[in-house]
Chains A and B, each alone.
Chain A
């Protein structure tokens, strides 16, 4: 247990430079942009006094290294400043939208894991048959559909033509169905393939052959010996899919006018609210890093053979 605690602490400490690095990258990107956000905010008819006041209000009159230090401090206190557009703190705006994104990502994850694992099992058990080949082709075709196109098709079929589900927005559980189907399509295809391959790999191992030789029922072998071990491989890539889902959420939320942080990002870019853009990008990155950390630690707890 002692080594596990050390491991967790080590991983947390290792995540900090990555977060600082990512934040630094964003800081300098914002500073190299040619347009001056203060001028955009102040509008066409403005006086130098107004510009000066805004500049000091946002701390842009200080030397760049002071700005950088203040900025770094703000990352760790999660105080990303005040929005140029709404004058509300960026973090409260993000936190009010974030639960919607979490709900969307979780339901997409639920769809992709349940359907993906089932498809993977079917493919592995029927490996080499026409069904297996058809599903393999299906997964590689399905994953190539652009998420925004899939979203628009879903809206056209289920909202415009069949009038079964709402086209966008939020409010009832029905609103979440189409966006989460659209968002789940990439991880679903991956998970199906990963489940298939790792099941096939495990099915050829000695302990499975042994179980067959001992005359154990096929169902027990599949569930207790094969599936349990191959789901470990699925768990490893969940952290990676959080990145896919967060990225996909930006597009999906825009298609379905779904009020999550992805749509907030696109709205803020359109409104040139760079403080907000900066805050959201860093927020998404921190979430991504932390989730990966948690997955790594969880994996280490589940599978003690892993030494990192």
Chain B
């Protein structure tokens, strides 16, 4: 037992060290990492940071521009915009993270099983993924949210399902490559169960694909959650979600642009951080990867025609 621990420590430590050095060397990446961490900290400790109650209405101070009292100004009901932005991160960021966690779970289970066992099961799963991919992501999310409801839980399910086909595809193709390796064959011949092989030998080797993919898809999930809020299908007022705050701001666009600036800026900063970090992680962790053009979390590159496969990486 002790021996394995030392072994995995030895394998893992230089890699962590390399990642650490990589982050420190890349100033651009470091800046976005700090930005992202502070946004997450801000949402988690919203109770401590927010100067005001995000729901407290004060009509005497409505639509004030930014000032010393309210650094981002107040909205149409006199609520402190800065506090609403801070609490808004809880909804926009946390719901997106939960959606990606769901997509990741679906991807790990379906993608691994499909790639490991192949055969008829894989064929059926891939056809289902084709069907899900036949919907533009946001249209699928809109349809799901419309029909199963727009409570926070159902929104997570809607966006998670809409994001999952990309995760399944990426994980499946990584697993396909790994399970052809001779050492997997060797472990199987030693008589270990499939579950053991998958958990101990397959999944640890696809982590380098999964982490960047999940990070990149976070950008896409944030855009979807915020778009749903903006369209009035997602989180509804008075809950401070960044997308739905922008929707409320539309009415006051002419005279009170400060309502428009801050929620949009937050969504943008969150998305750009996840994209930059995801992109850098991919370059670092997956150097063998073909050139991919993933900007909004979707590997456009993976739908490129590669020898022997079609645009979706089908063989």
Q: Which residues of A contact B (CB under 8 A)?
A: 17-19, 21-22, 25-26, 29-30, 32-34, 137, 139-141, 143-149, 152-153, 155-156, 160, 186, 189-190, 193-194, 197, 201, 233, 236-237, 239-240, 243-244, 246-248, 250-251, 254-255, 265-266, 269-270, 274, 277, 281, 284-285, 288-289, 292, 296, 299, 306, 308
Contacts and interface: CB of A to CB of B under 8 A. Distances in A.
B310 to A, nearest CB: 5
B136 A247 contact: yes
Contacts of B291: 197, 201
12 contacts: A21-B130, A22-B134, A190-B293, A201-B291, A237-B300, A246-B136, A250-B142, A251-B231, A265-B142, A266-B231, A269-B146, A285-B135
B138 interface: yes
Nearest to A277: B146
B268 A145 contact: yes
A296 B312 CA distance: 12
Interface of A, secondary structure class, is helix
A30 B305 CA distance: 36
Shortest beta-carbon contacts, A-B, top 4: A149-B264, A247-B136, A21-B131, A144-B272
A53 B260 CA distance: 47
Contacts of A197: 291, 293
A149 B135 contact: no
B51 interface: no
Interface of B, secondary structure class, is helix
Nearest to B219: A144
A16 B47 CA distance: 53
Given A140-B275, A251-B230, A18 B134 contact: yes
Nearest to B279: A140
B207 interface: no
Given A29-B144, A152-B264, A277-B146, A143 B139 contact: no
A159 to B, nearest CB: 9
Contact of B139 (A33, A156, A247): A247
Contacts of B230: 146, 148, 251, 254
B136 A243 contact: yes
B264 to A, nearest CB: 3
A99 B244 CA distance: 29
